[in-house]
Amino acid sequence: MAKNDDLLSESMEMYLVTIARLRMDGQHPVPLSRLAESLSVTPVSVNEMCRKLQDSGYLVYQPYKGALLTETGEKFANYILRRHRLWEVFLIEKLHLGYQEASEAACALEHVIKDEVIDRLDEFLDFPTVNPRGLTIPTSNGKQRNQKTIPLSKMPVGRGGHVLQCNVTEEVNNFLEQYHIRAGVIITVIAAGENDVLVKANNAQITLSNDIAEKIIVTLSQADKSDNHGRKVADEKSEKIETEMLLQMETDKKNNVDQIPLSTLKKGQLGIIVHVGGKGAVKRRMMDMGVVPGSEISVVRVAPFGDPIEFNIKGYSLSLRKSEAEQIIVERVERK
């Protein structure tokens, strides 16, 4: 949506955006007294401006109730909010400004930068859906997003998303902050076990218990909005890799390359997964834990009676029954 400077001054824009923000806090319509307080202006000034915006078709003023955005006003408010929140993401994540400082700078930038630059900024930031406070970033056509939110504990392995909320205690929140896990941050699930998940955020990896992970609410990245579609794409990619590995396995057999069941790998030995056997839920469980063709895996320890076996894959500890490990074929390699 292109801005029309002949219709709206910067002051008018701030009124529309402030109404949209206050309405998100649950006030709908927004009382003029609340609007005056937020903008630090007199009630008389607010009344006068609201009547101007009503005459221009951007809001409806309801006496004794407050201001209500029209469809046009809603679209324009979202247009400004998108600009503001994209700048917040850039200034905080890339320039490492504090939130207050970034928000003040974004207030100036949101009014003066061309639409083409904003669109390129959106692409540069990998199309974030929330700002660093977890507030939704509207779409380029001026609409609010219908976000699909799930607990981090339910996010599929290999998928990424933005953290929306961390509903944890202050102590846990301080711990998460050490790894920069907060609202607005992109987080990816690398592997999942029965009681915990391995995640990556800001190039750092950390294992979180399911109790903590289920309290972290995330929004799926654009490519992951449909879990079924995303799963299908991931499965097709995995099957393609596996087919290529199986063809290579046949060639390697002829060339006497050492390929063995994972269950026969010795403590300290390293292998590259070539083929994951099994069917249905068993195979899906192993692949959800990061056991996919092409991944490196090593033996950490073996239980006294040979079952289960603890492995290390992608820096994550994983225990498999011997019967499960027998269905996984690896190419044994020498450690560097």
Q: How far is CA 297 from the centre of its chain?
A: 27
Task: Give me the residue spans of the domains in the chain.
Answer: 1-127, 149-223, 228-333
What is the per-residue pLDDT across 4-24, written as a single tens digit (0 to 9) for each? Answer: 444 678 888 889 989 988 876
pLDDT value of residue 216:
92
- CB atoms inside a 10 Å sphere around CB 267: 11
- Alpha carbons 301 and 12: distance in angstroms, whole number: 67
The architecture in CATH of the region 1-127 reads Orthogonal Bundle (1.10)
Q: What average pLDDT does this structure show over 231-246?
A: 49
Instruction: Tell me how far CA of residue 75 lies from CA of 3, 5, 16, 130, in angstroms.
Output: 11, 16, 10, 18
CATH for the stretch 228-333 = 2.30.30.90
- Positive or negative: CA dihedral 37, 39, 40, 43: negative
- 56-104 pLDDT tens trace: 999 998 887 889 999 999 999 999 999 999 999 999 888 988 888 999 9
Question: For the segment 272-306, what is each residue's pLDDT rounded down to a tens digit?
Answer: 888 777 666 666 667 766 777 777 888 888 877 67
State the angle between helix axes of 10-24 and 32-39 in degrees (0 to 180), rounded to the nearest 10.
120
Highest mean pLDDT among 24-28, 106-110, 287-291: 106-110
* 244 three-class SS: helix
Q: Give me the residues paired with residue 197 across strands.
A: 192, 208
pLDDT digits over 299-330, tens only?
Answer: 888 877 677 888 888 777 777 888 888 888 88
Same CATH fold assignment for domains 1-127 and 228-333: no
**First-last CA distance in the chain:** 56
Question: What is the reported pLDDT for 1?
Answer: 53
pLDDT tens for residues 185-216?
Answer: 888 888 887 788 888 887 788 888 889 999 99
* Residue 53 burial (10 A CB sphere; 0-12, 13-18, 19+): buried
Return the CATH fold of 149-223.
SH3 type barrels. (2.30.30)
